[in-house]
Amino acid sequence: MAAIEKTETNDVQSEAIDSCESVDKVLQDSAESAIRPYGLRVSDDGISLLLDCPDPFADLEATVNRIENDFKEMGLPEFPDSEILTKILAQSCQPGENLIDFPIMKGWLPTVSIDGRLEWEQDFFSEEKVSEDEEDCHDFWDQNDQQSVTKDQLLARVIHPIPGEPGLDVFSREIPVPKPNAIKMRSGKGVRQIDEGQWLAYYADTSGRIRFQDETLLVDDVYIIKGDVSLETGNIAHTGTVHVEGDVKTGATIEADGDILIKGMMDPCNIICGGSLTVMGGIVGQEGFQIEVLGDVTATYIGGAMVRCGGNVTVANEIANAEIKASGQVLVPTGRIAGGTVIGCKGIEIAEAGGSGATATLLIVGFDFTVDRRVEAHEERIAQLEEAQDKIQDVLNAAGISPNSVPPAENQELGELWRKSKVISETLIKEHAAIRVELQKSTLVTDEEVIMTREIWSGTTIQIGPEKIVVKSSIKKPRVARLKMEKVRVLPFGTGNSSDSTEN
């Protein structure tokens, strides 16, 4: 019992000590405030002019005069006169009280701008990844259903930005406020836009598949082929989305401005797709057939096909002996790439690179394959210009006029040809320079890399920009290939910071 009483006594004493310390601090702060000398200063944010003043009523007139003089010395463009100052001080405290941090003048803070924002009515474009534990029970193709919409369905709202209001400091200087950012979105085919006051609302004008591309929202009407695309159906050309319930047979051609969904197999055929291509049963190709997709390509496997893709290529099982060119990434996270050439401008991630008995496998990242077409366009212009230049030069040579001589002034036709020849020469120089710039840009490498999570087989070639390496011996461990000291290195995960870390 005595022990309990002792403990309770200690607790009471402790509480008393804490209470005394708190009171002492309050008394100390109060004492410091009570004796704080006169002072007039601008607050840190520039909005207030703060006054410290011991008992203004001790000599109110002198206090008012002192404050007025300080206002003038500080260079304030506007301030209250002595009559208003007297009223302010009289209302701010009682005789015998001190003023501490009293805002004798105030400006105002700016009102913060609110950026515009985009609010989707539902998650149409989810790219949520599935964990390994969920892969067995996950429907790989479920993601395609969420983009189906019905006529008059609300798709999205673009909330208008709200500009802020500038503030004003005690020196009457404006405190600026940043301009809010606005969301850029246009309504395309199959979508109507309605201004509903605080926002723009976007509704489906038809039932179909939603697509968001280049800041434009569209709803593609869906053309459904119940069976196969074959000789019986003929080739397919559609301005919206195409759904094929069966297979696409050899030799067929499908052209669509929107997405293409094929629920069966895709035999060697031609595909021109303005959206994304999804093939449930896999893609089989051969020489002479081309697949061109502006968006992403998703498939179970790709074998022997030539694919040009403006987005990412995602494959569940395998890419075999194919020619893949993707402006984004090539992703086969649980499968392999064996044989052929695969370009993933922004990186490649696979489980296995190459294979036993596979033909040569070339993996390329950090290289813009679209440079070929841009260079070809310049080369075509150069050929046309050179042909025209040769014809003009033949006429000028026959008249005895060289590139460095000036034709007679009275012959206007020769003069015009001579001037045109000069312009063509200058344009040819610019076209050749443009080709050099395009080639330099195409090999501009940043952080692109090839990730191999399971195995890399001997004979696999990895190229990053202009640099490449041939793997000499197989490695049955996770590896990453990246540039180190301007050389391609194959490195263990988590390392790669030193140039001597290479294994091949």
The four Cα atoms 142, 148, 149, 151 give a dihedral, to 10 degrees, of -150
**Residue whose token pair is 């001190």:** 98
Residue 441 has pLDDT above 80, yes or no: no
Structure-block tokens of residue 180: 């809010």
In this prediction, residue 120 carries a pLDDT of 94
Task: Tell me how crowded residue 255 is: count the other CB atoms within 10 A of its CB.
Answer: 17
**Residue whose token pair is 């710039």:** 437
In this prediction, residue 504 carries a pLDDT of 59
**Window from 32-36, 158-162, 182-186, 364-368 with minimum mean pLDDT:** 32-36
In this prediction, residue 393 carries a pLDDT of 86
**Residue whose token pair is 């090539």:** 330
Task: Tell me how crowded residue 333 is: count the other CB atoms within 10 A of its CB.
Answer: 15
CA distance 323 to 304: 7
pLDDT above 90 coverage of the chain, percent: 42
Structure-block tokens of residue 71: 């206002």
In this prediction, residue 451 carries a pLDDT of 94
**Window from 303-307, 326-330, 369-373, 395-399 with minimum mean pLDDT:** 369-373
What are the tens digits of pLDDT across the range 106-134? 989 899 999 999 999 998 877 554 444 44
For residues 314 and 277, is the Cβ–Cβ distance under 8 A? no
The pLDDT of 328-355, averaged and rounded, is: 93
For residues 483 and 472, is the Cβ–Cβ distance under 8 A? no
Burial class of 354 by CB neighbour count within 10 A (0 to 12, 13 to 18, 19+): buried
Specify the pTM: 0.56
**Window from 78-87, 125-134, 273-282, 461-470 with minimum mean pLDDT:** 125-134
Q: Sorting pLDDT into bands at 50, 70 and 90, what band is 443?
A: low
Residue 273 has pLDDT above 90, yes or no: yes
Residue 168 has pLDDT above 60, yes or no: yes
For residues 309 and 290, is the Cβ–Cβ distance under 8 A? no
CA distance 337 to 305: 13
Distances in Å between the Cα of 77 and the Cα atoms of 40, 169, 170, 171, 500 are 16, 11, 9, 6, 68
Phi, psi at residue 308, to the nearest 5°?
-115, 125
The pLDDT of 255-272, averaged and rounded, is: 94
What does R_g of the chain's alpha carbons equal in angstroms?
Answer: 38
Residue 357 has pLDDT above 50, yes or no: yes
Residue 46 has pLDDT above 50, yes or no: yes
The pLDDT of 374-391, averaged and rounded, is: 88
**Window from 24-28, 40-44, 68-72, 138-142 with minimum mean pLDDT:** 138-142
The pLDDT of 148-160, averaged and rounded, is: 91
Q: Tell me, rounded to whole angstroms, the distance of Cα 359 from its chain centroid.
A: 37
Higher-confidence position of 416 and 166 = 166
Averaged pLDDT of the chain: 83
3-state secondary structure 56-69: HHHHHHHHHHHHHH
The pLDDT of 444-472, averaged and rounded, is: 85
In this prediction, residue 157 carries a pLDDT of 95
**Window from 78-92, 300-314, 335-349 with minimum mean pLDDT:** 78-92
In this prediction, residue 158 carries a pLDDT of 96
What are the tens digits of pLDDT across the range 279-338? 999 999 999 999 999 999 999 999 999 999 999 999 999 999 999 999 999 999 999 999
pLDDT above 70 coverage of the chain, percent: 85
Residue 32 has pLDDT above 60, yes or no: no
Q: Sorting pLDDT into bands at 50, 70 and 90, what band is 11?
A: low
